[in-house]
A and B are shown apart, each in its own frame.
Chain A
Amino acid sequence: MAQTTEQRYRVAPVRSRGREWPFPLNLYQSAVGRKWVMALTGMGLIGFVLIHMVGNLHVYEGPARMYEYAESLRTIGGGLVPEGGVLWLMRLGLLTMFVVHLHSAITLSRMSGNSSEKAGRISGAKKYEGGRDHIAATFASRTMRWTGPIIALFVLFHLADLTWGWWLGGDFVPGDPYHNVAESLGYLPVAIIYVVANIALAWHIFHGAWSMFQSLGVNNPRYNHLRRTLATTLAGLILVGNLSFPILAQAGLIDEDGRMCPVGEVEGNACLAEQGHGAAATGHGTDSTGSVSP
């Protein structure tokens, strides 16, 4: 009888624990483990964003160097692998990290949502009538669920814009990143989208890069004060670097008018060779779309 009394007063679990999956998949089953996976994929994605930003700085060296940089990405691995092989492997890894990061974020926030459900019988959501003010939580930490989707949508936009060239139409030249960037970011509404999205990205990293250490359990009183510094620095670097592209494109620094050579066939292209050596070549090859090898 004692047992029935016990049963009656037990608070029912909000969710039940399912069958345990085999290791290491079981790590993803628990929220703590899933958060660990979120931190690891987040770290990988920050690494990508950083490298992507630094690589794109080549745009300031002019069309020729930008083209060389883009080409060099396809030839990572040299002659050992088919051209673009390593690039595609990296893309696959990136896509996996992105999807897993997204999936863990969505499922974990749903978990937190139903842990707070019906908690206040006012609106169903967790809310205190007494004007609950956040004391420790930063604006960035509270808006992860907004900056995240903004970034995800922006990634799709960015791919459609500069990888697939959906709306540049005839102005999109596959294999000529300088031209495409100048065309796309030179258009004010697009530049504004890039600015907004990159502010969201830096905001997201400002909390994420700090939170990552906590989720991974990397915690040492000797170095803990550096976690905030690191997150701020990373977010700042990415913000400044990435914002420079739309802003300077609008300012006319990334501009087709400065274009002197057609791209393609770097070797044997006299114009490029000349430009590559820093010579102030002028007057030839101003047609940027005509002689491009696709």
Chain B
Amino acid sequence: MGGGHGETISVTLRVWRQDGPDEPGRFDVHHQTISTDASFLEMLDLLNEELNAAGEEPVAFESDCREGICGTCGVMINGRAHGPQKATATCQLHMREFSDGDEIVIEPFRAAGFPVVRDLAVDRSPLDRIIEAGGYISVGTGAASDANLTPVPKVAADQAFDAAACIGCGACVAACPNSAAQLFTSAKIGHLGLLPQGQAERWSRTETMVETMEEYFGSCTNHGECSEACPKEISLDFIAFMNRDYIKAKVRNRALTGQH
């Protein structure tokens, strides 16, 4: 781990460049001298300014809130999703995590379900397909009901909140050797399935979300890499919860005609 405040380090970047989804990719090498106070994305911003000034094409990468809550950013840094710091999204990673003279390899999140759009930007819309399949609750509109009208047990609220911390960045899929999206999907299923408001659609939701997930992503072999890479440290327990609910959904739905 690198220097303290106000230091400057020199790093060698090997950045994945790819002009389009069907173009062959390559690594470009850049040398950057940067303050250890800079964030990782600020370092890429500075690189892009230099590239722009030199008349070259800047490196395409995604970011939005830059405070670790939107899930837009995310690249593989030295083979680790979101880089070396645990429980940290790429935007919250700072250059003080690196040392002078380090070589940093920057690649896009890789999975067949995440085709590269350009350089480090990948299309993560298959995660949206999973949400569309059931990652919501249906609520009748009308006058706003009283707050706290539906009692939620504290433990259920806590667990649901832990699951709801998922920002949908896709690091779990990128880190998984099988390119499985179990952690993401189970976080969404766990979040809604633990709350009273989510009960009405619990079984059909689990069924359709799991089956949509499997159209795009791989199969879980319980390595645990996803949870390790997750900037929100979502627990593997949610995967077990989803697995059990999926089997229950298949068995239970036969009897419940109200749900398909």
Contacts and interface: CB of A to CB of B under 8 A. Distances in A.
B236 interface: yes
Interface string A1-45: 000000001110111110000011011001111111000000000
B125 A10 contact: yes
Given A130-B107, A136-B227, A137-B224, A217 B247 contact: yes
A27 B113 CA distance: 23
B226 to A, nearest CB: 8
B105 A142 contact: no
Nearest to A39: B243
B247 A14 contact: no
A131 B78 contact: yes
Contacts of A129: 14, 16, 27, 79, 105, 107
Contacts of B115: 11
Contacts of A32: 210, 214, 220, 242-243, 246-247
A119 B114 contact: yes
Nearest to A138: B223
Contacts of A136: 223-225, 227-228
B241 interface: yes
Contacts of A128: 76, 79, 105, 107, 110
A134 B222 contact: no
Interface-centre pick from B104, B229, B245, B250 (highest chain A CB count, 10 A)? B250
B220 A35 contact: yes
From DSSP, what is the main secondary structure of chain B's interface residues? Answer: mixed
Contact of B113 (A14, A35, A217): A14
A216 B241 CA distance: 9
Contacts of B104: 130
A224 B237 contact: yes
Interface footprint category on B: 35 or more
A14 B112 contact: yes
A26 B25 CA distance: 40
Given A11-B216, A108-B221, 10 more contacts: A32-B214, A33-B250, A111-B219, A119-B112, A126-B110, A126-B179, A128-B107, A130-B77, A211-B222, A216-B244
24 contacts: A9-B123, A11-B113, A11-B129, A23-B254, A32-B220, A32-B242, A35-B220, A109-B178, A112-B218, A115-B112, A115-B113, A116-B218, A118-B112, A119-B110, A121-B25, A132-B80, A134-B177, A136-B223, A137-B223, A213-B240, A214-B240, A217-B245, A217-B246, A221-B237
Interface of B: 14, 16, 18, 24-25, 27, 76-80, 104-107, 110-116, 123, 125-126, 129, 177-180, 210-211, 214-225, 227-229, 236-237, 239-247, 250-251, 254
User: Lowest 3 A-B CB distances belong to which pairs?
Assistant: A217-B244, A130-B105, A112-B178
Interface of A: 9-11, 13-17, 23-24, 26-27, 30-36, 108-109, 111-122, 126, 128-138, 141-142, 144, 207, 210-211, 213-219, 221, 224
